[in-house]
Amino acid sequence: MIEVAVAFAAAEAAVAGVKRAIALGKDIQECYHDISTFFEKQAEIKSVAVVDTVAKKNPNITLSQATKQALDATFASRKLYRLEVELRELLIYNNSEETGLYEEMCARRDAIVAAAKEEAEEEARIARVRLREIARRKAERIELIQNIIACVVGTACATAILYFIYSMFNWRE
């Protein structure tokens, strides 16, 4: 499980590093590592909400643990939003050489997330189609077996009836 406090501290440190670098007059590209760290930790903290929904299904987790995790994730998420706004303003207003950097990064991030989501949905669709195909084949095999059994039973019954009729008329011989 991701430790929210550790990820949050790393995100705060990354924003502080960007602030220091900009205050020292460094180029925004020199802050790449700090910016990358911030968004990486932001994604980790956002994923805690997804992990928490999985943890609800875990019977070993207590209510107090779940509440603490949810509270930590909520406070961290809200603070991260404020830090993201601060970082966005730093990138937009304090960096005249790299105009549009934040918007371009967000657009690319959204495109990557959308592509990953689309890929996951496609994999899930393929899995559903495969499972439906397996179920269809199983149903066809069951139907084939039922048809064979019906033919065998029908043939046996018809043979028995014909033998009975034959033996009725030829009982004297």
Write out the chain's pLDDT in tens, 173 residues: 457 777 778 888 888 888 887 777 777 677 778 878 888 887 777 776 555 555 555 656 666 777 777 777 777 778 888 888 888 887 777 765 666 777 888 888 889 889 999 999 999 999 999 999 999 999 999 999 999 999 999 999 999 999 999 888 886 65
- Do 65 and 42 touch, CB atoms closer than 8 A? no
The CA R_g of the chain, rounded to the nearest whole Å, is 34
- List Cβ neighbours of 58 (8 Å cut-off, separation of 6 or more): none
Q: Which two tokens stand for residue 75?
A: 């406070």
